[in-house]
Amino acid sequence: MTDYEGVILDVDGTIVRGSELIPGADDGLRTLQTVDCSKLLFSNNPTRGSVHYREKLEPHGFEVDPTSVLTSATVTAEYLSRTHSDESVYLVGGDRLASILTDAGLDLAAEPGDAEVVLGSFDDEFSYGTLWEALQALEGNVPFYGTDPDTTIPVGDGTIPGSGAILAAMEAVAGRDVDAILGKPSKIAADAAKKRLEAAPSDTLVVGDRLDTDVALGNRAGMTTAVVLTGVTDRSDLDDAAVEPDHVLESLGDLESIL
């Protein structure tokens, strides 16, 4: 039994690092399976769709329904297809995100001058030339969005630069901030999560490893929040943090103490 009607669970840094299950995550996931509440996995990964996380967790013995998974990529595709369906989107991002956007029916601009909307995201081939083209695309005060603000991404052997680093470069050359971030911790992301869970915010628990995305999303939406210390956040970060979680867990294995 649990007092919560819904649980939103981050993935990278909370359940897995790279392809490896984080110690304690299996206990936390099994605890979650025993409670009667709605469950949603929500990753800020802008390169993957929902099916990927079923395939990622299956080898570890956990079945995941893709309809109970959101990513910043799927939230972005849904939002842009709803608000900019007839406009050409100039993407600074990878091929996987491009496929998710086109599958959602969006038209991707081939040239910067064709941009009616600009979207910045993770791109492991980002270069000076990419930044120059992004500057050209942003010259008409077109709508400017980012998939997520994560400046770094946890991987198996450390961290790599993320979407937030690329967005910072785009903002710097264009002399403007993004109009909106579409993934966590935005209201757009929170609304997408609430729609999937159909649980009252006051009865929803958010668990993740990032204060500025996972915990911030929950705090803004009136949800209970917990940070795990298995990803980018450690105890020293909590002392002067602008965003405070309701609970601090060493790992997802301590989830039972909240539920």
Q: In which residue ranges of the chain is pLDDT below 50?
A: none
Q: What is the CATH number of domain 84-181?
A: 3.40.50.1000
Beta bridge partners of 56: none
Q: 97: which residues sit within 8 A by CB, 6+ positions away? A: 46, 47, 73, 76, 91, 121, 122, 147
What percentage of the chain reaches a pLDDT higher than 70? 100
pLDDT score, position 155: 76
Q: Evaluate whether 6-44+184-257 and 84-181 have a shared fold.
A: yes
Q: Does domain 6-44+184-257 have CATH number 3.40.47.40?
A: no
pLDDT score, position 61: 85
pLDDT score, position 1: 67
- What are the boundaries of each domain within the chain? 6-44+184-257, 84-181
Contact 185/217 with Cβ under 8 angstroms?
yes
Q: 153: which residues sit within 8 A by CB, 6+ positions away? A: 12, 45, 122, 159, 160, 161, 162
Contact 150/210 with Cβ under 8 angstroms?
yes
